[in-house]
Structure 1
């Protein structure tokens, strides 16, 4: 049976079956009490949730309770990768009598429900310990040091990684060998840095596998690829003189010691970074709107440019065969689905007011939901096919709220990669991402209506392959092809100017000039031999030519202005001046 969709809201927890049985009821009895949070194990065989005064864990195959604990006010919970440990976090409190802090981070054995260890974890940020996939190593950050436990034995700290003022860390999920990265923010003019170590070799800076330092960093987000061989570090500042979003830098670090800044072809913030499940490439969405999306390889070289569009997040399906570029938050919810192998656009859809997006484990269906408290109006969920077909839409009642929605996970390998069958959708979709249409046009003044705008608000770029060499026809070189394009552009421009000149000349009245004037213009202008006299004669001839044009306009019936009539009266005196120079014959 396909994994169901699990929902949490004011009605408690309930399930609905996913595709292909969309909309059919699930056997899950549900929970009617108000639930603070819920969590699945990675293989989907365990589901845990907490009410106001209890924590319940069930087996999703039989829907029977595994154990139940009388614990109140649990805020966060999660399972270890193999589902053997359940960790829960409560708000930090202080005992009023002893003035000592109460433990608020608890680890339980899932098979028995026995408490294994409790810790004090004051802040909710980075509250949860991290495990490797085989649960060989568990790590948590405590007072600027990383503490490591082995094989789910939390009574003994095996190793500590001491890095002064370490604030963030990231443990690669694969291994052995196990690798971990730590971030130390800069202070007093010193740069921030990230160092990568192999567990348990933490013998100072010289033992680091790789290191990368950088300025302009208040916080970082670190993401390992699935094989633990490469790390992406997104550094951010809260304020910037040039950017509302602050400054961002995207850094690539390899366990082989390589480190570099990921190149970006457009200025602006980095909205989202996502590794492919195949661990061989990653996608970055960046740049001022309309944002650009680019696919990179493990050398931080661009593989494909998806062009620009209204997007700020990227999602790969579990098989890595489909990439969804979406625009949520203050964007309209545009969805673009790309075939990552052929790098072609499959389909487009629109899911406005989306707060949750998640691919189904089969990689062909996906979920969009509008949840509270982010949005309290229009709460509900939709189930789609990647070709853009909407299979189901459910809205909750007006006096109820939907808080969370997620697919039940399945063991890896349950849904292998399949050949995408989207011929029908591809025939309808454009080969490049089209410019999104605008229903309500921008205001234009009455005198400008019905004409083409002189500028565009956004220039959208089409997708392109930066590694594909341009095709050269008939053996032409690249420079020859470029010059040919310039010549063609000049010819087209000259043709347009000629057409405009012919149109203007045909619209003007045709008046024949006197034969004496035409003969004088066509003949060679005589010279007196004196440069000063010749210069004066040229000025007189220009004035006589202007007078002749006025006489022609008057003959054609045009009403002259007073200053033009006065100019006509100067013709006689100008002719006399020309005669005094001994050149009266060249105008008579």
Structure 2
């Protein structure tokens, strides 16, 4: 049986639509484009079977395969959506507001039963950060962070808190950070270890404007270590491989280094230095992309991880977004607003460097989000790696010659030449001081 074709959700100022991925690149046959100019949010379920979005009037949930409308909720102000792992509960979040007289606002986090469409519970959740409850894969347990406690619910019954845990009292492994204003944590897929990036706002040594960062490894069996990074500077990105046995770090002052480490925090392979600030493992873990986005030019390095051999070096100029397709063969890069408000669009690549499909949004239109339809593990097994570019629209993005800066309002318009005349005026205010002034017309 042929594997399914992943869908690509495209959301922007002209509405939302579903595009069929490689090799078709056409509109999803059964999904009618929602042309609302106020589509605030969209999401797939974790298995990709459901798709939901809010268009500023209602929040819709459809079947991804045939676009059958399952539910339409009267929720015009939703800005965050999450679907539980078994597609049982829909979680929605709206901006929390209080009354003009300072009275408490109404609950803004709602949980809906996707079988009957009824609201099963509402909470007050003031901050958008970490707004969504977290479910176990089988949905037997749901956890919600409330101040310094974690509230647990069982079997999607939210009227009774099954257990409460104080964060300070729960310890499987611990690590003390003597120089840290904040930390970010990244678990591996097997939940056996976590990588912690500890950051300070100010580097007292004066070596970095961005503060000081350190990378730590902590395992649930109690093992811990400081990951020794051989080049000073910021830690731009840290990612786990799907196999949970290795991770890649991109770090150091530009040009940045990239290194793969094992679970003993020993370096396995050093990619050297280059213009990069991000790393992306393929869903199957057999390919690694090192890239330089943001204030860099968008160069990408595609590596065969088994043999540590370079496959291709394409360039995605002005890209603000990168994501692997679940099939492990294709990549989408996009230029989205508000990060960049001009030149919005997306490209779908093959990992060998070929551009298979390119779409530029029309003038006066913005692209806000693109996202692949996810699939459960095992649907797309890893295929043998090819080093020969596949046929496409372009084998590589052509480098454009450097041009003079033009304001956004004048871009994509004919260049008008002007005759510039420069005048030098000599003035003498007194007998001792001479003044010169330049002006042009």
Scaled by the length of structure 1, the TM-score of the pair is 0.64
- Number of the residue aligned with 1:192: none
Decide whether the 8 Å contact of 1:4 with 1:26 is kept in 2: no
Give the drift of 1:324: 0.4
Work out the CA distance in 2 between the residues paired with 1:343 and 1:438: 30
- Number of the residue aligned with 1:229: 192
Give the drift of 1:6: 1.1
Of 13, 17, 23, the match for 2:16 = 13
Of 172, 175, 182, the match for 1:209 = 172
The secondary structure found in structure 1 opposite 2:6 is coil
Q: How do 1:183-582 and structure 2 match up within 5 A?
A: 204=169, 208-241=171-204, 242=206, 243-423=208-388
Give the drift of 1:371: 0.7
Decide whether the 8 Å contact of 1:139 with 1:147 is kept in 2: yes
Give the drift of 1:98: 8.4
Is 1:94 aligned with 2:98?
A: yes
- Number of the residue aligned with 1:484: none
Work out the CA distance in 2 between the residues paired with 1:301 and 1:151: 42
Is 1:63 aligned with 2:26?
A: no
Provide closer, same or farther for how the CA distance between residues 24 and 123 of structure 1 changes in structure 2, counting only shifts above 3 A. Answer: closer
- Number of the residue aligned with 1:528: none
Encode CA deviations 1:50-101: one digit per residue, 9 max, x unaligned. 1213111001112111111111211111111222111111111124578123
Structure with more strand by fraction: 2
The secondary structure found in structure 2 opposite 1:211 is coil
Provide closer, same or farther for how the CA distance between residues 336 and 26 of structure 1 changes in structure 2, counting only shifts above 3 A. Answer: farther
Give the drift of 1:349: 0.5
Of 31, 43, 47, the match for 1:43 = 47
- Number of the residue aligned with 1:142: 146
Task: Give 5+ residue unaligned stretches, structure 1.
Answer: 165-203, 426-436, 441-588
Decide whether the 8 Å contact of 1:23 with 1:392 is kept in 2: no
Encode CA deviations 1:365-415: one digit per residue, 9 max, x unaligned. 100000111111000000100000011111001111111001111222110
- Number of the residue aligned with 1:81: 85
Provide closer, same or farther for how the CA distance between residues 155 and 275 of structure 1 changes in structure 2, counting only shifts above 3 A. Answer: same
Provide closer, same or farther for how the CA distance between residues 439 and 296 of structure 1 changes in structure 2, counting only shifts above 3 A. Answer: farther
Q: How many residues get paired?
A: 388
The secondary structure found in structure 2 opposite 1:382 is strand
- Number of the residue aligned with 1:556: none
Is 1:156 aligned with 2:160?
A: yes
Provide closer, same or farther for how the CA distance between residues 438 and 369 of structure 1 changes in structure 2, counting only shifts above 3 A. Answer: closer
Work out the CA distance in 2 between the residues paired with 1:423 and 1:382: 20
Task: Give 5+ residue unaligned stretches, structure 2.
Answer: 391-398, 403-441
Q: Which one has more relative contact order, counting CA pairs under 8 Å at least 6 apart?
A: 2
Give the drift of 1:5: 1.3
- Number of the residue aligned with 1:4: 7
Decide whether the 8 Å contact of 1:121 with 1:127 is kept in 2: yes
Work out the CA distance in 1 between the residues paired with 2:28 and 2:132: 34
Decide whether the 8 Å contact of 1:292 with 1:308 is kept in 2: yes
Decide whether the 8 Å contact of 1:43 with 1:412 is kept in 2: no
Aligned-pair Cα RMSD in Å:
1.8
Work out the CA distance in 1 between the residues paired with 2:28 and 2:219: 47
Provide closer, same or farther for how the CA distance between residues 75 and 51 of structure 1 changes in structure 2, counting only shifts above 3 A. Answer: same
- Number of the residue aligned with 2:435: none
Larger Rg: 1
Work out the CA distance in 2 between the residues paired with 1:16 and 1:305: 38
Is 1:112 aligned with 2:116?
A: yes
Provide closer, same or farther for how the CA distance between residues 26 and 248 of structure 1 changes in structure 2, counting only shifts above 3 A. Answer: farther
Work out the CA distance in 2 between the residues paired with 1:230 and 1:163: 18
Decide whether the 8 Å contact of 1:338 with 1:347 is kept in 2: yes
Give the drift of 1:421: 2.0
Work out the CA distance in 2 between the residues paired with 1:69 and 1:133: 25
